[in-house]
Structure 1
Amino acid sequence: MYKYFFRSVLHKNNSKIVRKNNLLLGKLRAQQIISIMSQSRVSVNIPTTINASPGAEEAKLKMTYPVARKDESVTETMYGTSVKDVYRWLEDPEAQETHKFIDAQNAISQPFLEKCDEWKKINTKLTKLWNYPKYGAPMKNGSYYYYYKNTGLQNQHVLMQQDSLKEEGRVFIDPNQLSADGTTAMSQATFSDDGSYMAYGLSESGSDWEKILIRRAKDCTDFEDVLEKVKFSTIAWTLDNKGFFYGRYPCQDGKTDGSETKQNEHQKLYYHRVGESQDKDTMVVEFPEQPSWRTISEVSDCGKYLILFVSYTVRDNTLYYAHIKPGEEISGPLEVHPIVDKFEADYDYVASEGSKMYFRTNKDAPNYRLVMIDLENPDEKNWKTVVPEHSKDVMEWALCAHRNKFVVCYIRDVKSVLQAYEMETGKMVQHFDLDIGTLAGISGEKKYSEIFYSFTSFLTPGLIYRYDFAKPEEKPEVIREIKLNLEGFSRDSYAVEQVFYKSKDDTDIPMFIVRKKRDTIEPRPCLLYGYGGFNHSLMPSFGITALTFMDAFDGVVAYPNLRGGGEYGIKWHNAGRLLNKQNVFDDFQSAAEYLTCNKYTSKDRLAIQGASNGGLLVGACINQRPDLFGAAVAQVGVMDMLRFHKFTIGHSWCSDYGNPDEESHFVNLFSYSPLHNVHTPLDKSQEYPSTLILTADHDDRVSPLHSLKFAAALQEAVRQSEIQNNPILLRVYTKAGHGAGKPTTMRIKEATDILAFYFKSLNMDSVNL
């Protein structure tokens, strides 16, 4: 089956086709990518003025915040601990009181950010830097090649089609034509085996909900088929090109546009026939006794087996298979057979040869290995290791090309390594030379000899390579270099270094530091960005916001690879999850101390930022060590660690956070939950840094209720303090979600808000605006 992997780091889309990991916080697919009603009186007071004038000193003057009603009656006793939840009414996204609270917050934060000359200058600079052509690696499907392209400032990437690599591409599908404001985005796309059809998903306003349509390759027209209620699903075509398998949820009461908070349960796997209406689809797999289970599928290369990946968290899955016959009618539920029936490891499908299935797995291999499982004798004792686990390098993904070549990407000390192996022997036959950086994307298929891959780094927007296994005497060739439209930009003007610093428990933590070259190191404005969770690796990646921070503010950008990530395999992940989660916060705080102790920055000029799970990171750290930071930005963060599992797909995160309904996990979660550890500053060491909390109204991955409740609690706490002068702001964006599909105009605006906030909070000099 065709594989396309795409990576994007720092709060962008991530469309690596990974099974259960499409629910990761902050990792979103782009290519295949109980609210309690309150009837109480609204009591949100909107100030008519902000007690500060625009300018750098505004961030240091005391502000007047909206007064959010506190419902003291909402109290629960959990394992002997009384837990108040006075802002639970903010969990209702439909309530007028919630809307007024959001309006009141935006009435403060928007003027604070926008009513200054620096905002306009930063926006102009970002727009200029963003305006350069962007391309994805080509993909071969049937008679055509395809690639994604953005001319520079288009809201969404356009999928292009070409007859050969030498010809100009033509538009195959342009999402920019589907909505005036660019908020309709492609969420996934999968071609039929012969390349004649493409099934693709469309999402609105950043929601995880999508609808699936089908386009003809020959004339770029769509069938009338429209599949609704689709979420967290892949598309798996049958070999006869007549239809595909996909997952959908049952109809539910109320909205399903991404603004709702109801839990997603009872997903079922269906088979859809091209040209028929959705109500004729055949339900083929369900697990009615397990409402939280999700099933995604792959059709084997021979077309005779449907491989099922079942999960209920974002870690570990079981494996099943069903017999299917190409060309035969699929008329009812399939008989499924277990391959692996315990949730104890990850399994990703790579390829097949008849009944022999090849999987990437961390079963008995913390750094992952490639194994062969014969469905005619699938007992674990009969599994064969094809490519063994490396002692240090982590096998990040694998695909099959040229009939029998496994193309494997490893992570070696947070840098990509690309190699190829023989299917039968596991012998390495090719090592691809890469600079220090990251494989941003790769495409390839078993029946084609060509592969395409793209490379990026902190200072390299992109290099796209082509390699043909049928011509081993030839080296990989660069077929496209992506360049900035920035006169005078030179990578040689910047320095990139990787350091290893000690965390609180003496563990060595790697960190990249990127800055302009100087003869001496002296304290400069510094942005410290972190994630630390869900086995997600924070790899070197090019970003316009980071470049602007360095270029405009002469700043330093640092990326620590915190425990909880996947940079060093499952052991690294385990060291930062569940009862070990505090290690992640310690790692981040130790990174801040390293940067200040080594004169890269000073505490009052150090900003921290994180999105999703990284938003939790920021929220926890400003509670625990507010004295370390001058500013903080928490984007779409998980802030209520006692109730996260009750909304949308939050129950899936218990594999990383633990279940709040279990005592040991409750005690641990309560100890660091940002919402439950807010304090009133009594001296300067306890003063919160200038803090900007960002969320979006259609985020159905991490519901905005987390940010709303946290902001209300923070503002109430600092209102009681005579010490606190730094602002606590909440900004809620509209027609936006967790990050996937966000149009370019919104991305630039959000980046402008963040950089303007840093400019005002850290008293920066306008070096190059």
Structure 2
Amino acid sequence: MLRNILLTGAATALVASATPASAQDLTVPDYPETRSGDVVDEQFGEQVADPYRWLENDVRVDSEVADWVERQNEVTNAFLDRLPGREKLQARITQLTDYERFGLPTEKGERYFYTRNDGLQNQSVLYVRDGLDGEPRVLIDPNTWADDGATALADYAITEDGSKLLYAIQDGGSDWRTVKVMDVATGEVMDDTIEWVKFSNLDWAKDGSGFYYSRFPATGEGETFQALNTNQQVYFHRLGTEQAQDGLIYETPEQPELNHTAQVSDDGRWLIVTSSSGTDDRYEVTLIDLEDESATPRVLVPGFDNNYSYVGNSGDAFYFVTNDGAPLKKVVKTDVSAAEPEWTTVIPEREETLGGVSLVGGHLVASYLKDAKSLIEVFALDGTPVRQVALPGIGSAGGFGGSPDESETFYSFSSYNRPSTVYRYDVETGESEVWAQPEVAFNPHDFVVEQKFYTSKDGTRVPMFLVRSKAVAQSGDAAPTLLYGYGGFNISLTPGFSPSRLAWIEAGGAYAVANIRGGGEYGKAWHDGGRLDNKQNVFDDFIAAGEYLIAEGITPEDGLAIQGGSNGGLLVGAVTNQRPDLFAAGNAAVGVMDMLRFDQFTAGRYWVDDYGYPSKEADWRVLRSYSPYHNVKDGVDYPALLVTTADTDDRVVPGHSFKYTAALQAAELGERPQLIRIETRAGHGSGKPTDKAIEEASDILAFLAAFTGLDLSE
């Protein structure tokens, strides 16, 4: 996840007067003073000090927090500006980022809609073509929405006839969305405006009369970016009316913790409401008959025991992906016209982990993970295998959306050494052709992508991707290595292209991605093995990855840097506390750092599925044992740490990173620095402008290079 800093007048002066320094000169600077409060919580018979509780306050509201942020940024910016090779690195990352990028096309009413970035545009532009080979026409250019480029096009949906465009606006990186409507033929933005939308699907009624969306109640004064998200409701908005007139379709006031998203079935007959209580893929599925206003909503999948994700329908036959009795997932179907629907298996569970499935052109296209690499297979609707889609190598394929009645679909393929190429695919014939392929400022064949396996502390076999230049790989020499991890929420780390990581590799470094437990690479068991009271397995797996890289001579003992974002930021904080001797440097980005209070803010309450409840003693004791904020080891030499966050992060509120940094800076941790870089007008990662992303990546990688011995001057 990408996460820059606020440059005040004072900070700019520091930049102007700074001169590059050698790594030996980059010792601990004079940290800004941080007030230590006297907050102490008694939990389960233990006194837990929280001296920096005041840093949880919203930086936009609390002037003391705002002053602390400004002072931290001044010190950090002055330090970062002295990093050797940073400007050269930024120039190269800019070159590597400057390539044409296309989103996957969507066809509606013989019009094709897709996003395109010419290379260095801060936000991708939405285009439309009349016919596949028609002349591209700009529909929405978000680059005109804000001078700083921080307002993004977050999502869009098109009516079946291609005449109306529904789109969501994201400002400053926030999770909140404003929804608008455009007439595709004229480009006119209509008066319809929807607010307070977050974590929502957007879907049109098949006749284009309006659309379905999910929203939360409006927040109180000053609470927009911190208040807990509860009481989500599904509404229908009829075109040409005010939001206040929107019809309430579904809610559960007696269960305010539930989230609800809605989508219209392929035939337009049903609204499918999927409800969840947290981050686990355990859903209740409700059908609402759109042809009978008097019909009572009908629960198709009761309870919250398993994953049931709608794939599509052919008449009354509804297809779902489920892990019910199948930890690696399978495809099932049911007849919704039956009084008592029964489920039958269409595609059985197999040894690979099943991810997404789509119903296109009378076929099921299934995406599998085989040791975290994509494998795509096409099936008939009765589950008969048809063919495997040939992919170019180790990488990630995604897409395959489309219509149940049309055989055309599009997909993308990318890897660590190649950006996304978009392909047009015919599910009937199996023919695949390049639709858009970028020209890049490097030779993909100069790099080697490998998959290694190593053994964790308890004997578990864990996969790892390793990317190096051919020259480094063939030399056999150890190279400064950047190790990345996540390890949570059933999220799989699959191969993908990053200009900044490629610049690191070009400079002579290695890049490794550890597919540690807590992710979804090997299904439910892999996820369960790294959450709740098994969370320590995640840290053990990551530590073992670092030990493996050193033992195998891939990286020198003093040349290992680590990086992770969000739950991965927690990972970096936890393993740094547990094994500060193993790592030379680290970047903890937008991390969850206070594990005793994470559920008090915005979306934090959902994360109890992975972390447990701080209010329950057994869970609290596990959380207390690894919480980064509470386990900083005073008097121990720590690696150099750069904490990164943003003022508008309303997913993992920046107070987590503020408090953690304050704790680091208050302790005696040796001669290497612990700094924080705080971006403004940015959030958890999505929607970040290209220029800010490049600047941030340059700062982070130059910082890590300075303390791992990677020479950026060559």
Report the TM range for the smaller structure's normalisation: over 0.9
Residues 13-92 of structure 1: pairs in structure 2 closer than 5 A: 54-57=20-23, 60-72=26-38, 74-92=39-57
Cα distance in 2 for residues equivalent to 1:456 and 1:399: 20
> Aligned letter for 1:505?
D
Alignment of 1:672 onto 2:632: no
Alignment of 1:200 onto 2:167: yes
| From 200, 213, 237, the counterpart of 1:272 | 237
| From 456, 479, 483, the counterpart of 2:414 | 456
* Match in the other structure for 1:23: none
1:649 to partner: Cα distance = 0.8
Cα distance in 1 for residues equivalent to 2:577 and 2:295: 52
SS state at 1:649 partner: helix
* Match in the other structure for 1:36: none
* Match in the other structure for 1:247: 214
> Aligned letter for 1:537?
S
| From 669, 694, 701, the counterpart of 2:651 | 701
Residues 745-760 of structure 1: pairs in structure 2 closer than 5 A: 745-760=691-706
Alignment of 1:525 onto 2:480: yes
Residues 152-551 of structure 1: pairs in structure 2 closer than 5 A: 152-255=119-222, 260-315=225-280, 316-325=282-291, 335-377=296-338, 382-390=342-350, 392-402=351-361, 404-423=362-381, 425-434=382-391, 435-470=393-428, 472=429, 475-484=431-440, 486=441, 489-518=442-471, 519-551=474-506
SS state at 1:218 partner: coil
* Match in the other structure for 1:26: none
Alignment of 1:648 onto 2:608: no
Alpha-carbon deviations, 1:404-441, whole Å to 9, x = none?
A: 21111111111111111111x21011211112211143
Q: Cα–Cα, structure 1 residues 378 and 362, in superposed 2: closer, same or farther, change >3 Å? A: farther
Cα distance in 1 for residues equivalent to 2:179 and 2:340: 37
1:254 to partner: Cα distance = 1.5
Alpha-carbon deviations, 1:415-472, whole Å to 9, x = none?
A: 111111111x2101121111221114333221321011110011111222112234x2
SS state at 2:667 partner: helix
Are the counterparts in 2 of residues 196 and 216 from structure 1 also a CA contact under 8 Å?
yes
SS state at 1:628 partner: coil
Cα distance in 1 for residues equivalent to 2:87 and 2:449: 30
Are the counterparts in 1 of residues 2 and 693 from structure 2 also a CA contact under 8 Å?
no
Which is worse superposed, 637-646 or 160-169?
A: 160-169
1:378 to partner: Cα distance = 7.0
1:57 to partner: Cα distance = 3.0
SS state at 1:709 partner: helix
Are the counterparts in 2 of residues 59 and 761 from structure 1 also a CA contact under 8 Å?
no
SS state at 1:603 partner: coil
SS state at 2:134 partner: coil
Are the counterparts in 2 of residues 56 and 761 from structure 1 also a CA contact under 8 Å?
no
> Aligned letter for 2:566?
S
1:116 to partner: Cα distance = 4.8
Which is worse superposed, 459-468 or 54-63?
A: 54-63
Alpha-carbon deviations, 1:95-117, whole Å to 9, x = none?
A: 21111111111111111112456
Are the counterparts in 2 of residues 56 and 763 from structure 1 also a CA contact under 8 Å?
no
1:524 to partner: Cα distance = 1.2
Alpha-carbon deviations, 1:742-768, whole Å to 9, x = none?
A: 110111111111112123222332354
SS state at 1:426 partner: coil
| From 658, 670, 675, the counterpart of 1:729 | 675
SS state at 2:120 partner: coil
Are the counterparts in 2 of residues 186 and 201 from structure 1 also a CA contact under 8 Å?
yes
> Aligned letter for 2:386?
V
Cα distance in 1 for residues equivalent to 2:340 and 2:418: 46
SS state at 2:161 partner: coil
Cα distance in 2 for residues equivalent to 1:334 and 1:741: 40
1:188 to partner: Cα distance = 1.1
1:633 to partner: Cα distance = 0.2
1:374 to partner: Cα distance = 2.3
* Match in the other structure for 1:615: 569
Are the counterparts in 2 of residues 440 and 456 from structure 1 also a CA contact under 8 Å?
no
Are the counterparts in 2 of residues 59 and 760 from structure 1 also a CA contact under 8 Å?
no
SS state at 1:265 partner: coil
Cα distance in 2 for residues equivalent to 1:321 and 1:475: 36
Are the counterparts in 2 of residues 529 and 609 from structure 1 also a CA contact under 8 Å?
yes
Which is worse superposed, 208-217 or 515-524?
A: 515-524
> Aligned letter for 1:692?
L
Alpha-carbon deviations, 1:476-526, whole Å to 9, x = none?
A: 112222221x2xx22222222111100000100000111012333222111
Cα distance in 1 for residues equivalent to 2:170 and 2:129: 26
Cα distance in 2 for residues equivalent to 1:378 and 1:749: 59
Cα distance in 1 for residues equivalent to 2:712 and 2:506: 10
Please list every run of 5 or more consecutive structure 2 residues that lacks an aligned counterpart in the other structure.
4-10
Please list every run of 5 or more consecutive structure 1 residues that lacks an aligned counterpart in the other structure.
1-9, 13-45
Cα distance in 1 for residues equivalent to 2:672 and 2:26: 5
SS state at 2:192 partner: coil
Cα distance in 2 for residues equivalent to 1:360 and 1:633: 36
Q: Cα–Cα, structure 1 residues 533 and 116, in superposed 2: closer, same or farther, change >3 Å? A: closer
> Aligned letter for 2:673?
P
1:373 to partner: Cα distance = 2.3
Q: TM-score w.r.t. structure 2 length?
A: 0.95
Cα distance in 2 for residues equivalent to 1:647 and 1:59: 40
* Match in the other structure for 1:97: 64
Q: TM-score w.r.t. structure 1 length?
A: 0.88
| From 495, 499, 511, the counterpart of 1:557 | 511
| From 612, 630, 639, the counterpart of 1:689 | 639
Alpha-carbon deviations, 1:651-691, whole Å to 9, x = none?
A: 1011111111111110100000001101112xxxx311000
Are the counterparts in 1 of residues 358 and 400 from structure 2 also a CA contact under 8 Å?
no
RMSD: 2.0
Q: Cα–Cα, structure 1 residues 734 and 86, in superposed 2: closer, same or farther, change >3 Å? A: same
1:238 to partner: Cα distance = 1.5
Which is worse superposed, 61-70 or 371-380?
A: 371-380
Alpha-carbon deviations, 1:280-305, whole Å to 9, x = none?
A: 11111111111121110111122221
